[in-house]
Structure 1
Amino acid sequence: MDHVYGRLFLGGDWVEPVTTSTITVVSAGTEAPIGQVPEAAPGDVDTAVAAARRAFDDPRGWASWEPAARAAAMHRLADEIDSRRTEFVRRVSLQNGMPVSIGTQTEGVYPAKLLRYYADLISTQPVEHTRRSMVSGNTLVRREPLGVVAAIVPWNFPQSLLSFKLAPALASGCTVVVKPAPETVLDSFLLAEAVEAAGLPAGVVNIVTGGREIGSYLVIHPGVDKVAFTGSEAAGRSIAQRCGELLRPVTLELGGKSAGIVLDDVDIAAVARDWFGAFLLNQGQTCYISTRILAPAGRYDEIVDAVTSMAARLRIGDPLDPKTLIGPLVSARQRDRVEDYIAKGIAEGGRVTTGGKRPEHLSRGWYVEPTVFADLGNDATVAREEIFGPVLTVIRYRDEDDAVRLANDSTYGLGGTVWTSDPTRGLDIARRVRTGSFGVNGFTLDPGAPFGGVKASGLGRELGPEGLSAYQQLKSIYLPA
């Protein structure tokens, strides 16, 4: 195994874990072990939270630093991450199967970019301002950090989604305990090395490893002030319940079953080049992508053929090959889940126009061919539930009102797209769909704009100035005239 770690990064140091339990990391593309790290126990979480607590409560600690000083430290961390960019992308690809062609644009970009963005933001945002009281005198309104943050991140974009939390938390003056997914822990140890090299104060960033039990223990830990979670709807509901009982602030970015509305005026040749990124990015293991394709009845067969052609042409193979667009799924369990959904789609009368199988030329790795279903309605299981795999369903609609109705007929509301030759018409559709984000003729996640969901897709927003506010609390101080 190439990457073996024997200690956890807690309190600014590499610490012997409480137990000898380990997590063995297996490559999604080869099914071979590639690394091993300690598996944290509750005692390790206690150590991590205590270190974060000390770093936050210290009168001269991270929370008390002037914004310019925190910003300088964050820029140093961004530089250290940038210097390890290639290795971050490689480790993520080895672990979860993300093609390096995708990782180079996401895992290799967002972490440093967001650290610099929020460092610059706090350098210009006033910590406090004075308002004239509506009664008498004045009121001083202050922005203060929330405290110790539990950042729990998934395996699909492990470093990008961590940076959605880590960057604004650090900028606000919070300290952080990170809990990565057990499938993708090797990149988090690389992050620990970057934190150490950047010289961040002890306890500002701590990393604990483990599965759901450790995550649950961290969520309810009495030393935690806020929880930031990205993951499944089921886990998110459980976390929301516990945080509600504790009156603990929580940000939840959960699942999606977004709609890609293809309007009847669309020039398919002009937009189809962008469908891969909007429909199948990272083997479909992307929360916001449009996996329900809504097509007008009059052009249904034409659009089915175009989506089928797009999916069938995608190169499947080694995720470390820069030409690969479809890599393996993250685990055997995830592949089984996706194959179960494909079987349900067939059983419910769906017509598979491409894919539906494991690629014959790849004997190792957890691969599933990009799969397109036709002739199913919006009530089909594959159209209702989040599959998190390379499976698309093309659904007929009658007119624009019917398309919007179908798009909104979902328990989720995270992303979505509309495809049209008339951007004004597309913008009108975008305004009518109940979702947290949407794209006209494509979708790009903008770090400077709020991102999050409605309905079962989550609570709160990340990114943009709004993402910083999620780690701050407001204090009003009355000043007599």
Structure 2
Amino acid sequence: MKHLFIGGEWRLPTGSETITVVSPSTEEPVGQAPLSAREDVDAAVAAANAALTSGDWSTWSAGERAEAMERFADALESRATETARLVTAENGMPIAVSGPVEGLGPAGVLRYFARLARDTAWEQPRPAASGRGTTVVRREPVGVVAAVLPWNFPQSLAMFKLAPALAAGCAVVLKPAPETSLDAFQFAEAAQEAGLPAGVLNVVTGGPETGAYLVAHPGVHKVAFTGSTEAGRTIAEICGRLLRPVTLELGGKSAAIVLNDADLAATVRGLAWASLLNSGQTCYVSSRILAPRTRYDEVVEAVAELARSLPVGDPADPATRVGPLVSARQRERVETAIAKGRAQGARIATGGGRPAGLTRGWFVEPTVFAEVDNSFALAQEEIFGPVLAVIPYDDESHAVGIANDSPFGLAGTVWTSDEERGLDLARRMRTGSVGVNFYAIDLGAPFGGVKASGLGRELGPEGLEAYVSYKSVYLRK
């Protein structure tokens, strides 16, 4: 890809520098994307502002926006197989995951927010509280949105931002992660096919400097970011200084509380998704497994057997469940965490090294640690790899205390044969979402975290509200 997508057109970048995207499984180049200069970002932001002030988009009704979003969804769906393969090539996501989540998933998010756009009251008259007159309360687009994306779920997490922004009538400048620069242009091609007006969606590629310039750009009115807590703090500081609204979906170190009545076979089947999805490179995974002391050894062995049973290898093979990590740097980070766990006295129940026979690619064995104290780095720091820590607890209150003893608060799970008991524990966990006997994000409910896991919410009606500005018009009768 040699061009950027700005103002509804494919444009050559200002400079000649490029980003090389490398396959995590072969260590060979997948392709190249332009490294956007500041002038390219300026052009994208200007095009987005033009779409809001003088372009067709500014005059479209919610129904017309919804129709365009549904055409956009159709265009993305027609590319689903190609997109899934591209994401797998870029970041090593097993194709069994990228197919439904990255290929088909974004179209579903678009259709949900298209329905929400139709059903939302964009202008509401209210009787004045004084009893004299009427106030018309309007929902209006917040403006130009800078969407800065991660590499782990580049398509679906982009759409968590893009879909509600479009539903609200905003215009968007999308900046993908360098590791997954190529698949972002699938959005541009589909937007063109769907007939989105020029400037409504713009795609600029680049590294951290490009993202920082976009976030602080004077023509941007809101920032939406998914990524590390460290980067999120920096973005929050910039937006705070500029009094600019921001949504931050950041890191996690979620806990899975296995209760003493849990069906262990069903629990470990669920943990394959809840704890090791995308080779553990998922923000919400339950990477701390909290087990009752009365069943501790049993839980350790069951989780270790799960880790040993998952096929590791070529992510393009539908049978693969654990692929490579996204980069050599990410593998080094995970291996450092494993070494730190050993040094602190935790015991490796399985894994801990590189898979035999995989001499190319950035692979790490699914690894399970036992005899972990919640104060260990294994339990407090986000690793973002296939590494689980099994921690013992005495009773339910102790388990909830361990779950909440974390700088993060994004997600969590409870595993029990008594759903009401699980719901009671979920209420006591200080986190943004909890799954009882499974974990899956619901498009119709808010998703996000507390503490170091972020600010604001995506998805659901609450996700749409993040892209709306309220105006009150007072009428005296």
Say yes or no: TM over 0.5.
yes
Give the equivalent residue in structure 2 for 1:118.
113
Deviation readout 1:182-236 (Å, 9 max, x if unpaired) = 0001101122111111111111000111111000000000000000000000000
Give the equivalent residue in structure 2 for 1:94.
89
Give the equivalent residue in structure 2 for 1:41.
37
Which of 276, 279, 297 lines up with 1:280 in the alignment?
276
Instruction: Give distance in 2, aligned partners of 1:108 and 1:119.
Output: 19
Give the equivalent residue in structure 2 for 1:76.
71
Instruction: Give distance in 2, aligned partners of 1:198 and 1:139.
Output: 37
For the residue of structure 1 that corresponds to 2:410, the secondary structure is coil
For the residue of structure 2 that corresponds to 1:396, the secondary structure is strand
Give the equivalent residue in structure 1 for 2:450.
454
**2:390 is the alignment partner of 1:394:** yes
**2:166 is the alignment partner of 1:163:** no
For the residue of structure 1 that corresponds to 2:100, the secondary structure is coil
Give the Å deviation of 1:105.
2.1
Instruction: Give distance in 1, aligned partners of 2:382 and 2:321.
Output: 21
For the residue of structure 2 that corresponds to 1:43, the secondary structure is helix
Q: How does 1:311-322 map to 2 (within 5 A)?
A: 311-322=307-318
Instruction: Give distance in 2, aligned partners of 1:294 and 1:63.
Output: 51
Give the equivalent residue in structure 2 for 1:220.
216
Give the equivalent residue in structure 2 for 1:138.
134
Instruction: Give distance in 1, aligned partners of 2:2 and 2:266.
Output: 52
Instruction: Give distance in 1, aligned partners of 2:297 and 2:462.
Output: 42
Give the Å deviation of 1:249.
0.4
Give the Å deviation of 1:63.
3.0
Deviation readout 1:353-412 (Å, 9 max, x if unpaired) = 111111111111100000000001000001000000000000011100000000000010
Instruction: Give distance in 2, aligned partners of 1:465 and 1:376.
Output: 40
Q: How does 1:236-275 map to 2 (within 5 A)?
A: 236-275=232-271
Deviation readout 1:228-278 (Å, 9 max, x if unpaired) = 000000000000000000000000000000000000111112322111001
Indicate if the aligned counterparts of 1:182 and 1:210 stay in contact, CA closer than 8 A.
Answer: yes
Q: Which amino acid aligns with 1:64?
A: T
Instruction: Give distance in 2, aligned partners of 1:63 and 1:279.
Output: 43
For the residue of structure 1 that corresponds to 2:2, the secondary structure is coil
Give the Å deviation of 1:68.
1.0
Root-mean-square deviation (CA, aligned residues, Å) is 0.8
Indicate if the aligned counterparts of 1:415 and 1:437 stay in contact, CA closer than 8 A.
Answer: yes
Give the equivalent residue in structure 1 for 2:412.
416
Give the equivalent residue in structure 1 for 2:18.
22
Q: How does 1:311-350 map to 2 (within 5 A)?
A: 311-350=307-346
**2:100 is the alignment partner of 1:105:** yes
Instruction: Give distance in 1, aligned partners of 2:235 and 2:138.
Output: 29
Q: Could you list the runs of 5+ residues in structure 2 that have no partner in the other structure? A: none
Instruction: Give distance in 1, aligned partners of 2:195 and 2:124.
Output: 32
Give the Å deviation of 1:57.
1.1
Give the Å deviation of 1:69.
0.8
Instruction: Give distance in 1, aligned partners of 2:312 and 2:208.
Output: 31
For the residue of structure 2 that corresponds to 1:410, the secondary structure is coil
Instruction: Give distance in 2, aligned partners of 1:378 and 1:358.
Output: 26
- Determine what percentage of the aligned residue pairs are the same residue: 62
Give the Å deviation of 1:53.
0.7
For the residue of structure 2 that corresponds to 1:340, the secondary structure is helix
Instruction: Give distance in 2, aligned partners of 1:72 and 1:141.
Output: 25
Which of 176, 190, 195 lines up with 1:180 in the alignment?
176
Runs of 4+ in structure 1 deviating by more than 3 angstroms, as ranges, are: none
Give the equivalent residue in structure 1 for 2:373.
377
Give the Å deviation of 1:61.
2.8
Instruction: Give distance in 2, aligned partners of 1:189 and 1:130.
Output: 41
Indicate if the aligned counterparts of 1:64 and 1:173 stay in contact, CA closer than 8 A.
Answer: no
- Aligned residue pair count: 476
Which of 459, 465, 473 lines up with 1:463 in the alignment?
459
**2:437 is the alignment partner of 1:441:** yes
Q: Give the TM-score, by structure 2 length.
A: 0.99
Instruction: Give distance in 2, aligned partners of 1:269 and 1:22.
Output: 49
Which of 348, 353, 358 lines up with 2:354 in the alignment?
358
Indicate if the aligned counterparts of 1:63 and 1:145 stay in contact, CA closer than 8 A.
Answer: no
Instruction: Give distance in 2, aligned partners of 1:173 and 1:396.
Output: 50
Q: Give the TM-score, by structure 1 length.
A: 0.98
Q: Which amino acid aligns with 1:65?
A: W
For the residue of structure 2 that corresponds to 1:68, the secondary structure is helix
Instruction: Give distance in 2, aligned partners of 1:63 and 1:307.
Output: 53
Which of 51, 69, 85 lines up with 2:80 in the alignment?
85
Give the Å deviation of 1:122.
0.9
Instruction: Give distance in 1, aligned partners of 2:415 and 2:12.
Output: 54
Instruction: Give distance in 1, aligned partners of 2:103 and 2:63.
Output: 25
For the residue of structure 2 that corresponds to 1:462, the secondary structure is coil
**2:288 is the alignment partner of 1:292:** yes
For the residue of structure 1 that corresponds to 2:174, the secondary structure is strand
For the residue of structure 2 that corresponds to 1:473, the secondary structure is strand
Q: Which amino acid aligns with 2:243?
A: L
